Chains A and B, each alone.
Chain A
Amino acid sequence: MTENVPNRSEIEVPIEETKGETVVKTEPPKPVKKQVDRRSFFSWMGLAWLSFTAATLGMAAAIGRFFFPNVLFEPPLTFKAGYPEDYIIGAVDERFKESFGVWLVRNSEGIFALSTVCTHLGCTPNWLGAEAKFKCPCHGSGFYKTGINFEGPAPRPLERYMISYAEDGQILVDKNRKFQYEKGQWKDPDSFLKV
C-alpha cells in the first residue's frame, strides 16, 4: 500500500507537463473578422438600448390599455326598481341582488337599499328568511334586516344607497352615494324612501 503513493505522484507529473506543452504549441488563430471600432460599438449599443426602451414602453402602453376596455360589462350605477307597491312590508327583496348588488327592504315606514357587500371582507351575504338575518358564508358575519351587524367579525353595518323617486313615480336607486350608519349618515333623508 505504501508503495502506491509515490507511484501516483510519478504518473501525475508527466500529465501536468503535457498540459503545459499543449498551451504553448497551439496558439489561437488570429481573428479574420473585421475589428469593431469604438465608435461603431457605441452606436450599435445605443441603437440596441433605444429599441429595448421603445419595446418596453410599447409593452407598458399595451398593458396600460387593458385598464380602459372598450366595453365595460358592469351594471349602471343608477337603476329604476319598480313601484313601491311591488314591495311587501317587512320583506327583503332579492330581485336586484344579482344584477345590481342591492337588497331593497321595506318596513312600515318606507324602503331602503342595502348594499350586498359584507363590511368585513367583501363577500356577498345570504338572506336567511327563517332566521331573519343576512349571514355571510365567508366568516360568519350576521346582520339584521336593517343592516345592523350583530354577530361575527363585521365591524360595521351594511351600507345603504341613495334612494328616491324618479319622475315617473318609480323607485330610483343611485349607487353613487352611499350612507354609513357609523358616520350617522342613515339619518340623511336621501338614504330612506318614505312611502
Chain B
Amino acid sequence: MKDIINVISDPPILFTLLVIILFTSFKYSEIFWSGKAMIVVGVSSVLFFIVSLFDENFLLIVTKPDNVPIVGLIFLIFFFTWLAMWQAVNNDKRIAAGKPVMEAEIEPNRVIVWPDLVYIELIALTLTLVLLIGWSVLLEAPLEQPANPANSPNPSKAPWYFLGLQELLVYFDPWIAGVLLPGLCVVGLMAIPFIDKNPKGNGYYSFAERKMAISIFIFGWLLLWILLIVIGTFLRGPNWNFFGPYEYWDVHKLEPLVNINLSEIVYIKWFGVGLPNNWFLREIFGIGILLAYFMITPLILTKKYFSDLFLKLGIGRYAIFIALLLLMVSVPIKMYLRWLFNLKYILAIPEIFFNI
C-alpha cells in the first residue's frame, strides 16, 4: 500500500490524476461538491493522515516545523474550495428551479456588512492571533547554523510560500521561473476584472453561470500553485530528488535524469549529425515550435472552441485572454516534457542567456 502511494505521488502521475479528478468534479459538480462528498473525503483524508503518522518517514517530514503550515494549508484549501463550490452548486440548483439565490434570500441586492461581517472579521482576527501566539510558543523556530556560502543545506528549501516557484525553477530558466511567470501571475490576476465583463455571479456564488472562469482559475490556483508548494515541501528531498511520502530521504538516491535539449534530439538523435555552430540554425526548430504554439494555436482555438467568446470579448480583451491562457497552459506542458522525455529546453541559447 505504501509503495503504491509512493508511486502515485510521483509528480507526473500525481499531476495527471489530480487534473482528471478536478475536471471530473467540474463535470459532475453536484456529486463532487455536495456535503456528503465533503464528509467522505474529509474524514478519509484525516484518517489517511493519522494512519500515515505511524510511518517514521512520513512523521518526520510532516512534523518538521517548516512544514507544519503546509499540512494545515492542504486541509484549509480543501475545505474553503469545497465551501465556495458547495454554495455555488446549491445556487445553481436554485437558479435552475427558478428560485432566488441563497444570498438574495437573506438580503436582496445587498451584502450584509454591519454588524454581521464586521463581527465575523473581529472574531476571526482574535482567533488568528490566539492561534499564532500558541503556535509560536509551542513550535520551535527551525533555526540553523550561521550562513556559510560554501555549505548549502541539502536539500536547500526556500520559505514554504516560495516552494512553488522553486519547483518551477526545476523546469525553467531562472529568469522565466523567477521573474516572468510570477510576474504574469500577478499581472494576469489584475487583468481579470478588465477581461471578464460577465456580470453574472456578482454578489453570489454560482458555478453553472461561470464554468470556464472558475475552472481556469481553480486549475491555475490549485494545481499550478498549491500543488507545486505541496510537492516542493513534502516530496523533494536531498539533491532535490523526488521522494514519495513514505520514502527514506537517502542522500545517495540515484535517479537517472540526463536531460537533453530539443536541438540535440533533432540533430543528433534524428538526423545523426552534429550540432550546427550557429545558434540560430541550431535552435531553428525550437523557435519554430514556440512560434507555432503562440501564433497558430490561438487561431485554431478561436475557430474551434472560442468563437462565441471572441465575439463577446472583442479583439483586444480576447487577445490578452488567449495569451495569458496559453502561457498558463505552457507551464504544465513544459513540466510534462521534462517528466516524460527528459527534455531540458525547447529553445536553448546559453550564448545570450535565453532558454525556454
Contacts and interface: CB of A to CB of B under 8 A. Distances in A.
A179 to B, nearest CB: 14
Interface stretch (A55-63, A123-131, A170-178): A123-131
Contacts of B344: 153, 155
B276 interface: no
Interface residues of A, number: 29
Given A138-B166, A153-B170, A128 B148 contact: no
Nearest to B259: A151
11 contacts: A123-B152, A124-B150, A128-B252, A135-B239, A136-B152, A136-B240, A137-B153, A137-B154, A139-B240, A150-B259, A155-B353
B152 A131 contact: no
Size band of the interface chain B makes with A: 20 to 34
A123 B240 CA distance: 12
Q: Which 4 A-B pairs have the closest CB atoms?
A: A140-B240, A137-B154, A151-B257, A98-B150
B150 A182 contact: no
A140 B257 contact: yes
Contacts of A139: 166, 169-170, 240
Given A116-B150, A155-B355, A138 B156 contact: yes
A152 interface: yes
> DSSP majority for the B interface?
loop
B252 A155 contact: no
A182 B259 contact: no
Do most interface residues of chain A lie in helix, strand or loop, or is the interface mixed?
Answer: loop
B173 A131 contact: no
Nearest to B254: A131
A99 B170 CA distance: 29
A20 B251 CA distance: 84
B146 interface: no
Contacts of A124: 149-152
A147 interface: no
Interface in A119-172: 120-121, 123-126, 128, 130-131, 135-140, 142, 150-153, 155-156
B105 interface: no
A130 B172 CA distance: 28
Contacts of B351: 182-183
Given A140-B241, A155-B348, A98 B169 contact: no
Contact of B151 (A98, A99, A131, A153): A98
A123 B152 CA distance: 7
A155 B345 contact: yes
A84 interface: no
A128 B253 CA distance: 11
Contacts of A130: 252
